[in-house]
A and B are shown apart, each in its own frame.
Chain A
Amino acid sequence: MTLHAQVRTQLGSLRLDCDLSVESDVTVAVLGPNGAGKTTLLRIVAGLTPVDEGRVEVDGTVFEDTATRTWLTPEARRVGFVFQDHGLFPHLSVLDNVAFGLRARGVDRATARARANEWLERVDLTRHVASRPSALSGGESQRAALARALVTDPEVLLLDEPLAAVDASGRLELRRSLRRHLSTFKGVRLVVTHDPLEAASLAERVVILEDGRITQEGPFADVSSRPRSAWIARMAGLNLLRGVVSDGTMVVDDGSRLTVATGIQGPALATIQPRAVALYRQAPEGSPRNVLRCTVTGVDPEGDRWRIRLEGPLPLVAEVTPAAAAELSLAEGGEVFAVVKATEIDVYAL
């Protein structure tokens, strides 16, 4: 299943101009700063915002095509939308919220409730079946909204900043359950977020949207190690590693090992700020635990901070001052030792 969206539209001061293709085999995150048009893009796919010019299509079903004046109403599109504020109806119980889409599509009350109940069980909300949405925590209401969007078996699932309305303490668990539900969903999955970590942990592919345009797309590791814009470099331009942690050692997916300072055990995501990667001509002595022998594969001068791309046991990006770069006589093909303190590696459980 594939979603194609070619969109050219003016909304206030924002000019949204992008071509997006999303395959159903991976979860795709649209990542970008606030006001870049991310939510608008989702609203266009759902049919809540019309476009000036463009075409939206899912597997041959044309949702919208300005060339042929085709337009499917939102209710006729098989799209599940989890809104940023979750949008649970305050006047209905959690059960009736989840059953709403089925009832709207002509399923009888008993069947709709039974299927809604099944979904509430899957998202672990059985004890809140009769509650009003106002009684739910941020995480619970997010799960209820997800169940409500998925119960009608849509072709496309849209999530707008899924973790934004959830407090930090519930985020980890929610991210985990969200990943699980996203992985079992068979249709097109499109997540919008401004948080690189969220994009990296929920999606296999990221699309960077800045000021209404797609500036880069690909696997997160590629985008973050070769950022093509200042925003990505600043926000997402961090070293991101996936692996498994046990007793303070992380075995990265490519087999290399890092010493980390964390109590987390099991699958995890680690991030290292480029400026936390120190470079030396010779292997340093002393306390640093992570010393990696690397080859310089790229030098990107960017103002007073130069980004140095390295290949070695791990692909890494370091950030150094121009003076330090000169002192180390860094050049492509040269050899350096990259040092990362265990405490400079942020680890997130997956």
Chain B
Amino acid sequence: MTRGVTRRPLIGLVIPAAVAVLFIALPLIGLLAHVDWSNLPSQLVSTDVLTALRLSLECSLIAVAVALLIGVPLAYILARTTVPGRRVIRGLVTLPLVLPPVVGGIALQTAFGTTTPIGTVLHHLFGIVLPFSTAGAAMAEAFVGFPFLVITVEAGLRQRDDHFEEVAATLGARPWRRFWRVTLPLAAPSIAAGAALCWARALGEFGATITFAGSFPGTTETLPIAAYSSFEGSGQIGQAITLSLLLLAISVLVLVVLRDRWLGALR
């Protein structure tokens, strides 16, 4: 409830606040104003756009799958156990949130590059080459996206204590059954929210991906990278705008889906 005293806001605050709104809104308006609406349908279904879209979906979904597979267990450990060094681990996991993506890409290169020990082993024993491959692009996206998942799921788990797990134990459920039948279903909303955020971040990933995986059409050139290439390299501003519009639409969609969920899980 707004109280009487603060109902009429200070004019000195209204102006910068309005600037803030315009600051976000104007670029978006500019983008929409430059869309060539008549040619949009044909541009959307052009081979270049479809290739980038397919690749983006593929990489981002792999990234989300990887994040779920390793992020949910980590979130559980952070929320429910007292392993030593939890604070350090939590800090480490959230680091990619603030780390410049390019640094992430270079770091991935120095760890998994073809000349590194791990890269050599992967190459010679399993024939896997991560840099400049689709798998590498997915890996870069997972690296940047999975903190979102871990943080959201951990918050969701913390929201409830382990009371229901205790109840399940008194009913004869062993630890794995408690995890599958009680912990996971109760955390499902936050897992869904975390996965969606992670997916949105992975889909928009640029810096780490281009550094670690490059920009090869059909292999590693995802939507944001394709948008940048057509904007910067080939000067096809129209296609860049079309690709940007596509990404904007997906972002808005994620935001609408998560409207309540993601705030709810973090609160």
Is B170 engaged at the interface, CB distance under 8 Å to the other chain?
yes
Once the chains bind, are A89 and B170 in contact (CB under 8 Å)?
no
B: number of interface residues (CB 8 Å) = 17
Q: Are B166 and A104 touching (Cβ within 8 A)? A: no
Contact check, B169 vs A73: say whether CB atoms are below 8 A apart: yes
Which residue on chain B has the smallest CB distance to residue A88?
A: B167
**1/0 per residue B160-177: CB within 8 Å of A?**
000110111111111001
Whole-angstrom distance between the alpha carbons of A112 and B181 in the complex?
A: 16
User: Once the chains are docked, how many angstroms separate the CA of A46 from the CA of B171?
Assistant: 10
Q: List 18 A-B contacts (CB under 8 A).
A: A46-B170, A48-B166, A73-B169, A75-B172, A75-B173, A79-B170, A81-B167, A87-B163, A87-B167, A89-B164, A89-B167, A89-B182, A91-B186, A100-B168, A101-B171, A104-B177, A105-B172, A149-B171
Is B100's CB within 8 Å of the partner chain A? no
* A-contact bits for B176-191, CB 8 A (1 contact / 0 none): 0100011001101000
Binding site for A on B (CB under 8 A): 163-164, 166-174, 177, 181-182, 185-186, 188
Cβ contacts under 8 Å, A79 to chain B: 170
Q: Which residues of A contact B181 (CB under 8 A)?
A: 100
Asked if A104 and B168 sit within 8 Å, CB to CB, the answer is yes
User: How distant is the Cα of A80 from the Cα of B182 in the complex, in angstroms?
Assistant: 18
Chain A residues in 8 Å Cβ range of B170: 46-48, 74-75, 77, 79-81, 149
Residues on A facing B (Cβ under 8 Å): 46-48, 73-75, 77, 79-81, 83, 85, 87, 89-91, 100-101, 104-105, 148-149, 152
Q: Give B102 Cβ to nearest chain A Cβ, in Å.
A: 42
Q: Chain A contacts of B166 at CB under 8 A? A: 48, 74, 87
Nearest-Cβ distance from residue B190 to partner chain A, whole angstroms: 13
Q: Which of B164, B171, B186 contacts A104 (CB 8 A)?
A: B171
Q: How far is the CB of A53 from chain B (nearest CB, A)?
A: 23
Q: How far is it, in angstroms, between the C-alpha of A79 and the C-alpha of B170 when the chains are bound? A: 7
Q: Are A75 and B169 in contact (CB under 8 A)?
A: yes
Could you tell me the distance in whole angstroms from the C-beta of B114 to the nearest C-beta in chain A?
47
> Contact at B164–A87, with CB atoms within 8 Å?
yes
Chain A residues whose CB sits within 8 angstroms of the CB of B177 once the complex forms: 104
- Nearest CB in chain A to that of B160: its residue: A90
Q: How far is the CA of A105 from the CA of B172 in the complex (A)?
A: 6
Contact A83 B167, beta carbon cutoff 8 Å: yes
- Identify the closest chain B residue to A79 (Cβ): B170
Are B167 and A104 in contact (CB-based, < 8 A)?
no
Nearest CB of chain B from residue A293's CB, rounded to whole Å:
53
Please determine whether B173 and A48 come into contact, CB atoms closer than 8 angstroms.
no
Q: Which residues of chain B come closer than 8 Å to A91, judged between CB atoms? A: 185-186, 188
Min CB distance, A63 to chain B, in Å? 12
Q: How far is the CA of A80 from the CA of B167 in the complex (A)?
A: 10
Closest to A90 in B: B186
Partner of B172, one of A48, A87, A90, A104: A104
